[in-house]
A and B are shown apart, each in its own frame.
Chain A
């Protein structure tokens, strides 16, 4: 059966290329346009102008226009997923509107040009989903089991079981700890986005920040990899059961297990790849309060990490769920300091002491603090460059974190065609320095016996760049 489906899918996919995306039908003529990209209007809306790449601008009087027809050419991945058997749970999550799980959330990833591979765990995979928090300990393991009841208002049920990753043994159900609907939605949202893979070379990474090794159609997420490093060899492997390709070039593979999540935090990633930049992000807010740079109400405006002593949580207050931090290397930070583009917080504190008796002390100190905060903020951008920017030297402009003046520097970013290198304004990314990160917090809602993993997720990318981004303001 799977080979018949595969054949049908391929036949459709081949047929796609011979059709045109839109037909503009007038009273007398029909235009088949494969590369129309914009429609504008002239003469107060009496003339329609269709802009095409190959035929230039086509002007059509509105009175003459019958309709623009969009061919149903796209045998999209979504169409094919809808036709899958034994994948009812995944289809329900992806395409039905379940409270807390809007289908548009996943639509964004299904349509992202950078998502090359979509894994669809089948219904059997939903029965046994190992979960763990980091660092991995035997106490941190659970097994989730998800079932479907289409007749219920909330069609997904979830049970938790004791799980021993050393033996792979599924134990008793944890009675009295069934997740609520809100928790189920949050857990599944995070699990499912780990099935969307960016890039097609091994190791690939998921849009939620897990790396995946791929070898001969056997997939291994970082979760399993880390468990294996602990000597626990019985976590299930991920095997591909069926695969097909959408007309948009995306590949979909039905799997018998989940790529389970891991959680590399922004703090840990920066600690590894850019410790000097991390020091700049550790803003001494008490110092800023003491020297009158800001009042308590605006602490969040300059704080990048909250609760430093306890959790080192990256403070991302934007409504956007994703971010990219371009962290200059330690050498680049040193150069920037020498060029007086930025000052360490220790330097600023010393500077404050040296200003005693100076009547312009406040203004001089503020200038240095503002410069340092602006330096940090122009290295933090809205959006996930791995998801939002396609390979192939496409230049995108992204907004940086907003300054206290309400403006944000724009940064132009180009992604290489052949590798995962980025050109960022005047700088370049450092090879092998890209880390997908995820902040498993935002609200103080807890689940899984874990007081700090919560429902919202901020996902991001941290990478080293060889030079600091120049100030353009």
Chain B
């Protein structure tokens, strides 16, 4: 289990827990003003406070979706959880295991950035990265973020 840094939890935080079909669990910390769009094959999380970014999931990868408010926290989850939140241009990732570096690639497979993991967490600045799809490799999983 991974505990989120309390400093990063805001009053209106809402945690989307996505149980993936491969058994892993992803947590995405969003805001009550966030919207989740269900497109043909995509689950897209868009937050008006971060208009430049969309977080994407492939619908066929997602088994269930539940929500927790910041008050209820994540106590119900027993699986290893990869947790992330987007705050402005900063992406905070927690729950990183066996992965000394978090690497960001573009769709062509070009390595754009590599950030060292410290005690299972890291903070990525997306500001200087190019627009387009950003693929963030962590824990043998890929976080997909569309930068507009």
Which positions in A face B, CB cutoff 8 Å? 21-22, 36-41, 44-46, 48, 62, 65-70, 72, 74, 76, 78-79, 97, 99-102, 104-105, 107-108, 111, 113, 185, 189, 248, 319-321, 456
Closest-by-CB residue of B relative to A49 is: B35
A21, A104, A111, A113 — which one has the most chain B CB atoms within 10 A of its CB?
A104
Residue contact A36 to B38, C-beta cutoff 8 Å = yes
A101 — which chain B residues lie within 8 A by C-beta?
109
Are A99 and B109 touching (Cβ within 8 A)? yes
Given A37-B37, A72-B21, A102-B135: A67 touches B66 (CB 8 Å cut-off)? yes
**What's the Cα separation between A108 and B135 when bound, in Å?**
12
Count CB-based A-B contacts (< 8 Å): 96
Question: With contacts A48-B67, A68-B64, A108-B133 known, is A102 near B35, CB below 8 A?
Answer: no
Q: Are B12 and A97 in touch, CB under 8 angstroms? A: no
Q: Is the CB of A69 within 8 A of B131?
A: no
> In the complex, what residues of A have CB within 8 A of residue B67's CB?
45, 48, 62, 65
Check: B65 CB closer than 8 A to any chain A CB.
Answer: yes
Contact of B63 among A48, A69, A456 (CB under 8 A): A69
Q: How far is the CB of B79 from chain A (nearest CB, A)?
A: 14
Range class of the B interface residue count:
35 or more
Secondary structure at chain A's binding surface: helix, strand, loop or mixed? Answer: mixed
Q: Mark B104-135, 1 if CB is under 8 A from A, else 0.
A: 01111100000000000000000000111101
Return A164 CB to nearest CB of chain B, in Å.
34
- Taking CB atoms, residues of chain B closer than 8 Å to A70 are 59, 62-65
Closest A residue to B17 by CB, please name it.
Answer: A67
Looking at A46, A97, A102, the one whose CB has the most chain B CB atoms below 10 A away is A102
CA distance A97 to B33 in the complex (A): 35
CB of B139 within 8 A of chain A? Answer: no
Q: Is the CB of B107 within 8 A of A65?
A: no
A70, B14: Cα distance in complex, Å: 20
Report the separation of the CA atoms of residues A78 and B21 in the bound assembly, to the nearest whole angstrom: 14
A45-B14, A104-B107, A456-B108 known, 4 other contacts, Cβ within 8 Å: A68-B65, A97-B142, A99-B109, A248-B41
A to B CB contacts below 8 Å, 16 in the list: A36-B38, A39-B35, A39-B38, A40-B36, A45-B14, A62-B69, A72-B63, A76-B41, A99-B109, A102-B105, A102-B109, A105-B109, A108-B133, A185-B109, A189-B108, A320-B132
CB distance from A258 to the nearest CB of B (A): 20
